Structures are given as C-alpha cells and as structure tokens.
Structure 1
Amino acid sequence: MSQSAPRITALDFARALAIFGMIIVNYKLAMQAENGGSTWLIAIAGLFEGRASALFVVLAGIGVSLMTMKARGSLDKEHIRHNRNSLCKRAAFLSIAGMLLLLMGWNADILHFYAVFLLAASVLITVSRNILLGLYTIILLASQLFLIVFDYSKGWDKSFHAYLDLWTIEGFSRNLFLNGFHPIFPWLCFFLIGMWIGRTRWLDLATRPKLLLYSLSGTVVFEAISYSLISWSSPVLDTEAATYLFTTKPMPPTMLYVLSATCSSIAIIAVSLYVVDKFQNSLLIQALINTGQLSLTHYIGHVVIGLGFLEAVGHLDNGSLSFAIAYGCSYFIIAIIFSYVWRKWMKRGPVELIMRRI
C-alpha cells in the first residue's frame, strides 16, 4: 500500500467521526433537547457543538486540494478547466440537495453552504498557499467585525431554531453570509485551512507529531484565552456581551471559536492518521472508513430517514437529551453496518452514485 493510501483512508475515518458528531448535535437540536438531561450528558453533547461540522468542512477542503493536485502541479489549462467544471457540478448538486432539505424544514442544513465552499474552491485551485492563508485571515477578522457591526439575531426566532424570513432574498442572503448555522463569514475559513493543509506536508508521517502537538496546544490556548477574556471583560461589558464577543461556541461564530475549532479539527485528523496507520486491518476501523466514504449518503439519511421516522411516529419533539444521544448512537451503528455491507458490493454510496451520474 502506498504512503498516500492510508492517508486518504484516515481522512475517511475522520469524516466518519465528523458524521457521528453531526448526528448527535443535529438530533439534539431537532428534538429540542438542549437543556434537559444530566450534567455529564450535557457536557458530552456540548463537545460536538460546532466541532463536528467544522471538522467536516476542513476535511472537504483537504479533499479538494488532493483532488486538484495534478492540475495544480501541471498547470495544464484543460485539466484545470475539467476540475473547475467538476467542482461547479458538485456545488450545483449539493445546492439542490440542501435546498430540498430546507424545504423539508431542516433549517440546520450544511449542504447549501458547502456548495458555496466548492464554488470558491473552483476559483482558488491555482492560487498560492500564502493567498489561502491571507484569505483565511481576512475573512476571520471581517467576521469578527461583522458580529459587532450587524445584528446577529436578525431573522431568528427567540429560540434560535427557526429563521423567520429565510425565503426572502434579503433573509436568505443574510443567513447564507452572516448569521445562518454555517455562514460563509466565517465558515469559509475552515474550508480554506483545509485546502492549505492539503497542499502541505503536514499530513506526512515525519511531521505528524508536530501537527498533533501544535493543534492540541492551540485548542487549549484559544479555549484559555476565551475563558480569560470573558472573565476579565464581564464586569465591564456584562457577561452576555463578553460571551457574545469571546465565546468558543458556534453561535455566534467568533474569531476565537474559529481558531479553536480549526485546531481541534486538525488534532482529530492527526489522531485519525495514527489510528488508521496502526489499526487499518481492524474490522471496526475498516467499517468506519467505509462509513466516511458514504458521508453524503449518511448526512442526508440521518435527516430524511432518522428524523423522518421520529416525526412519523410522533416522537420528534420529545425534549429528552438522553433519548437524542441514544437514538443518534443507534442510528450511527446502523450506518456503520450498512456502509460496511454496501461497500462490499458498490464503490460509492447511494447518494454519491446519483451525484456521480448526474
């Protein structure tokens, strides 16, 4: 097996972890189970908030860089044009899929945001790594400024579960760019840093220990800075304002949240590289790799099938955090089994096949 093969499967393994975290967070959100349950359950569920989705987007950026590596290296205009067309077609497919989920009432959809990230990638295929880091910095700073200048709560209901004017041009644009669940400012940062990592040697075996050390250290440092700034500024700004500006929770997505979630995402990817290198022949690890390879199928499935079933039996708005986590874990176990069996016969997942053929 080539050196790049376990690296790619490690990214699939990390993608499976991201899907699991997104399932837990989304089921908690859909069942309105954000405050109920024991302290330890709340703490466990809180670990995934904004982190699983961020990991998913970072992995997407890495994937795009690996996919366009040959075109970028050769600078062949025809090859670059082919990659751009491919990214634009994928963006169109994901945009339609995301809009359908929105029409079904799934307000937390990430696919239509993902489509914009792919469109941005199609433009940035040949730009330098320094430009990617520069764009990351500019978008990060601009996003923090937008939190101060604009009303982040505009368009949301009091519970921050429903976006009241989503289906207007102004409301949809505001949600997409500024204050949706995964707005372009600053969520494009996760995609850009993924593209940057995919062009470096940080995923190689020799640099992997430093990658893990730096990313874990960064997570701890940014969490400590957030805690300190909230504590020190609360007497001056009041606790609510201080938390709004310096939190590392995903809503609102502050600069410290993006930096902390970037580091934690990279740390999980680094751990995934170690795990797959050591246990790649394990049945469980292989099944999780297969699950990551069917990530689009499982993302749509956990909404349409998982939540659709609960709504059909009238148990969606149950408000139980313990049930949300147990149901999410059960669904993910079924997804793992399905993925392993499906990949025995088919190279791509059901939705992935549809996207490929369209």
Structure 2
Amino acid sequence: MLRDRERSIDTLRGLAVFTMVGANMAGSVVAQPHPLGLRLYGSFAAPLFILLSGMMVAYTAQTKEHRWKYFLLRGAMIMMMGVFVDVVIWKGVCPFVDVDVLYLIGLSVPLAFLYLRLGKSYQWIVIVLIFLLTPFLQKILGYTEYVNPIYLWGEQIKEVPVKTQTSIFNHWIIDGWFPIFPWLGFSLLGVKFAHRRRKDQTFNPFGKKSIFLLGLGILIIGIMIWWLYPGSLLIRGEAIELFYPPTIGYIITAIGLILMLFYIVNRMPSLFIYNPLRYLGESSLFMYVLHIPLIEYVISPTWSGQSVQKFILIYIGFLFFLILIAYGLRVLKSTWRDRPFIIRFLIGG
C-alpha cells in the first residue's frame, strides 16, 4: 500500500493534471469570449505541477540518496519528452525555442538538486529574488504577446502576427511559455516544501490547521495585489490562463492556494474520492503527453466554438477516458514489476 505522503503527492499531481486538461481544452473548444472564471480555473495547474516536481527532487534525494548525475539524466529525459512534443506532436516545431513546461521542469530538476546544497537562508533569498526580479525583467527585456514557434518543416500553423517578437534567449529568461523567471522559483519552493516533511510517515506537517491559515492569509494578500495590479492578462493563441505575464499578485495567490490545497489533501489523504486524481497523478508525464494530441487532433476539430455548458460535458467525458487509461496503467504496473527504467520513466514508478 502507498504511504500517505505518496498518496497526497499523487493526488495533488493528479489535481494539476485534472485542471490542466480543462485549461488546454477550453481555449479551442469554448466559443470566445472566454469567461473569466474559466480562465481562472486553469491558471494554477502549472505552478502546482512545477512545485511538486521540485519537491520530489528533494524528497528522492533525501530518501533514495540519488546523486546529481541521476537528476541530470532525469532532467535531460524530461527535456527529450519536450523535444518529442515539439517535433512529433506539433509536427516539426523546432525544439528548445518556446520553452514548454517540460523544458522548464527538465532544467529545474538538476538545478533543484544543486539548490539543496545551499544554506537555508540562501535558499530563501534565491526564491524571493527569482519572484521579485520577474516584473523588472519583463519591463527591461520586454514581454512578447505570443511566442511564435520556429518550424523545421511543414506549414506554419501556429504562427501569430505580433508587434514585437523577442529572442529565444528572452523566451528562456522571461517571456516563453514557462520561462526561468518566475517558474523556476516554484520548483525551488517545492524543495522547501519537501524540507517540511519528515521521514517518519506518521508526521504530517501539511495537515496542520496553521498551514491552512497561512495559505489563506497569503491567498488574500495575493488576491488584493493581483486585483490592483492584474497585468496584461494576455490570451496567447489558445492558451487562456491568466499568467501571461505572471505578476507578483498572481505568484503570491498561487502560493497561498497551493498551501491550502496541501492542507486539504493531507488532512485525509486516503479518501476514496481522491482515487481518480491519484490515478492521474501516478502517470502524470504520460497523461501530459497523451492529452496534447487528443485535444489538438481529435477534440478541437470536432467540438470547437461550444458553449460553456457543452464544454463541461466534453471535459467530463475526456477526463473519464483519461482516468480509465490511468487506471489501466496502474493495473499494468502492479503486474509488471520488473519494468525497464525507460518504461518506469514514461508511465510512472
């Protein structure tokens, strides 16, 4: 049986997948203009997903004593999945240009391990600096309205005319889909979350009411700042999340919400209603890669321009399908114990 801490992490990761699917579907399926509530709904999957990736680096480094080479290899493999998405699924998009979330996570995995070597006070300084420097870098370097891909071959189907197209360097630093500033900060914050956990599985620091109250306080402050300084709230093609560009208010709001989610899930991590989320979370990389072509080449061409009500029905049906796939992978993993490393990487351990 999985330990509670593993259950809670898988559940939270599954929640990120759950909301990410909705966000990635809505831009192409729902008729414009997209309701603000729908845009808000999918805006917190990315920080949760990235934070959990950093948390797992620290957790596995402490419990399994993996070295830097292991995390360097794992980060490179995640980046190669990003290359697969660009070149194969997106049909000839040049990799390492627009900074998909897999590139950011692939980069952050070995960096998070090195980050563990810093003193605790320096660790907090790095996180705060990454977040605080973000709006200044956006202003100094510029923030493009849309990250146009470069195609190695084929039709330029994802190209959007913009006034100012910035460089690839700019995409990695500040204005790609998931640039280093501020998104690396969430990964490193995940390392700090891991420090809150102890090897004794009976101790559950995130199930304390103080965590919920702390998260609520941070959430309220974040919402107030975000309301006063919302930023451009750009819609980038079919990406309708509210973090283009990510603002300080958004970052603080996301941190507060994540803390509250940690509390809620960790209070009773074995609840049966979490099972579908946990199944998704146990194979999160596979689910991420799988959902992209299904949305792009099946769902969007079939059901574009729908009402919100019809979108919800399509969304529920698609989630049901993904959960069935995830459950099937779970059964496969329970019967196929001696899976090769690459298979464990693709479908989860």
In structure 2, what is the equivalent of residue 353 of structure 1?
343
In structure 1, what is the equivalent of residue 152 of structure 2?
none
In structure 2, the CA distance between the partners of 1:206 and 1:178, relative to structure 1 (3 Å rule), is closer
Counterparts of residues 1-40 of structure 1 (less than 5 Å): 5-31=3-29, 33=31, 35-36=33-34
In structure 2, the CA distance between the partners of 1:217 and 1:25, relative to structure 1 (3 Å rule), is same
In structure 2, what is the equivalent of residue 74 of structure 1?
none
SS in 2 for 1:191: helix
Asked if structure 2 preserves the Cα contact closer than 8 Å seen for 1:13 and 1:285, the reply is yes
Deviation at 1:356, TM superposition (A): 6.5
Q: 2:132 aligned to 137, 141, 159, which one?
A: 141
Deviations 1:270-318 (A, max 9, x none): 21112425x2xx2x4333212211111111111123433236xx33654
Deviations 1:170-218 (A, max 9, x none): 7333222211121110111111111101012498258621111111221
**TM-score of the pair, normalised by structure 1:** 0.77
2:303 paired with 1:276: no
In structure 2, what is the equivalent of residue 87 of structure 1?
71
In structure 2, what is the equivalent of residue 211 of structure 1?
211
Deviation at 1:11, TM superposition (A): 1.0
**TM-score of the pair, normalised by structure 2:** 0.78
In structure 2, the CA distance between the partners of 1:162 and 1:215, relative to structure 1 (3 Å rule), is farther
In structure 2, the CA distance between the partners of 1:351 and 1:261, relative to structure 1 (3 Å rule), is farther
In structure 2, what is the equivalent of residue 243 of structure 1?
231
The aligned amino acid for 1:61 is G
C-alpha distance in 2, partners of 1:60/1:33? 33
The aligned amino acid for 1:68 is A
Counterparts of residues 181-260 of structure 1 (less than 5 Å): 181-201=177-197, 204-205=204-205, 208-227=208-227, 229-230=228-229, 243-244=231-232, 249-260=242-253
The aligned amino acid for 2:283 is L
In structure 1, what is the equivalent of residue 237 of structure 2?
none
In structure 2, what is the equivalent of residue 327 of structure 1?
314
Deviation at 1:319, TM superposition (A): 6.0
Q: 2:57 aligned to 36, 49, 64, which one?
A: 64
In structure 2, the CA distance between the partners of 1:30 and 1:171, relative to structure 1 (3 Å rule), is farther
C-alpha distance in 1, partners of 2:160/2:113? 29
C-alpha distance in 1, partners of 2:71/2:303? 36
Report which stretch shifted further, 208-217 or 122-131.
122-131
Asked if structure 2 preserves the Cα contact closer than 8 Å seen for 1:211 and 1:267, the reply is yes
C-alpha distance in 1, partners of 2:221/2:332? 46
2:311 paired with 1:342: no
SS in 2 for 1:243: coil
Report the structure, 1 or 2, having the larger helix content: 1
2:83 paired with 1:99: yes
Asked if structure 2 preserves the Cα contact closer than 8 Å seen for 1:28 and 1:34, the reply is no
The aligned amino acid for 2:257 is S
Deviations 1:4-44 (A, max 9, x none): x20221110111110011001111234474524xxxxx244
Q: 1:52 aligned to 41, 45, 49, which one?
A: 45
Counterparts of residues 272-311 of structure 1 (less than 5 Å): 272-277=265-270, 279=271, 282=272, 284-310=273-299
SS in 1 for 2:117: coil
In structure 2, the CA distance between the partners of 1:163 and 1:266, relative to structure 1 (3 Å rule), is farther
C-alpha distance in 2, partners of 1:180/1:319? 29
Asked if structure 1 preserves the Cα contact closer than 8 Å seen for 2:99 and 2:179, the reply is no
Name the % identity: 19
Measured on the aligned residues, the alpha-carbon RMSD in Å equals 3.3
In structure 1, what is the equivalent of residue 154 of structure 2?
none
Deviation at 1:331, TM superposition (A): 1.6
C-alpha distance in 2, partners of 1:205/1:298? 29
Unaligned 5+ runs, structure 1 = 37-41, 72-78, 231-241
In structure 2, what is the equivalent of residue 239 of structure 1?
none
Deviations 1:129-188 (A, max 9, x none): 32221111111121121122122126647xxx75779xx9x7333222211121110111
C-alpha distance in 1, partners of 2:119/2:319? 38
Unaligned 5+ runs, structure 2 = 149-157, 234-240
In structure 2, the CA distance between the partners of 1:140 and 1:102, relative to structure 1 (3 Å rule), is same
Deviations 1:43-79 (A, max 9, x none): 44223233111111111111111111147xxxxxxx5
Q: Report the count of equivalent residues.
A: 315
